[in-house]
Amino acid sequence: MELARMGSLTDAFSGIIFWVAIGVAIYFAIRKSFRFKGGQIRGQWEILIEQGSGNADAVYEEIEDALKSANPPKVRWERAGIYAGNLMTGKRYDGLKVNNSELKDYRIYIFAYDYGTSLHVAWFLTYQKPWLKFIKIIDIPQQLELNAYGNTVHAATKKAVQTLMERLGQDFSKINTKSKGFLEVW
């Protein structure tokens, strides 16, 4: 009798584990589709700096110093591990995540990492679509804030790249610094 009862408890526990695993799988599938649907990247700029490998930390420090100097209101940043793809199959990149408390649905991610002997630096303005909102309407004050936010972070990134290129004896003046996307920061 006691063994039969133990068997039914084991079966019940196995069933619970099964449904929890199914729930977790569905969560990650939905999370990924919401995260990347609808054109998440709204603006971007990137550059591959020849012979720049080993300088990622210097670029991040320069960007952070430029942001501190600019002192943009409502803007906070932190270095963070950022996943491309979902948590289980995606790739983790170290980067700088920049948030504006007035524009919670928009984030800027900056990456600097070695690519062979070069350093790849990339800047992305993203829109994180909320689960229950399908259309984002932005008014003029919000658009002004978004433009100032994007321009400030983009300028800090360009300054860091210019500093590194000049230190490496490279000519920054020939670089196209205009971003791609709806902001077209210049």
Which residues in 28-64 are b (16+ Cβ under 10 Å) and which e? Answer: eeeebeebeeeeeebbbbebebeebeebbebbbebbb
29 and 63 fall within a common domain = no
Q: Do residues 155 and 112 both lie within one domain?
A: yes
Average pLDDT, the chain: 80
111 with 164, same domain: the answer is: yes
The CA-based angle 132-88-92, given to 5 degrees, is 95
Same domain, 31 and 83: no
* Claim to verify: residue 5 and residue 55 sit in the same structural domain: no
Q: Does residue 126 form part of some domain?
A: yes
Confidence of residue 51 (pLDDT cuts 50, 70, 90): very high
What is the model's pLDDT at position 32? Answer: 37
User: Does 105 map to a domain?
Assistant: yes
| Same structural domain, 26 and 64 | no
30 belongs to a structural domain: yes
Give the mean model confidence (pLDDT) for residues 86-109.
84
Percent of the chain with pLDDT over 70: 72
**What pLDDT, in 10s, does the model give residues 57-95?**
999 999 999 999 999 999 999 998 877 666 566 777 889
User: Is 182 or 135 the better-scoring residue by pLDDT?
Assistant: 135
12 and 88, same structural domain? no
Number of domains comprising the chain: 2
Residue 33: predicted pLDDT: 33
State if pTM tops 0.85: no
Does one domain contain both 97 and 9? no
Considering only residues 101 and 3, tell me which one the structure prediction assigns the higher pLDDT: 101
163 has pLDDT over 90:
yes
Tell me what pLDDT residue 182 has.
52
Q: What is the pLDDT of residues 4-36, one digit of tens each?
A: 555 565 666 677 777 777 766 665 544 433 333
Assess if residue 186 is contained within a domain.
no
In terms of domains, do 13 and 80 share one? Answer: no
Return the SS3 of 101. coil
Statement to judge: residues 12 and 52 lie in one domain: no
Domain containing 11 equals 1-37
pLDDT of residue 150 exceeding 90, the answer is yes
If asked whether residues 83 and 1 sit together in one domain, one would say no
Q: What number is the average pLDDT over the span 134-155?
A: 87
Beta bridge partners of 125: 43, 108
Q: How confident is the model at residue 128 (pLDDT cuts 50, 70, 90)?
A: confident
| Residue 185 reports pLDDT greater than 60 | no
Same domain, yes or no, for 85 and 96? yes
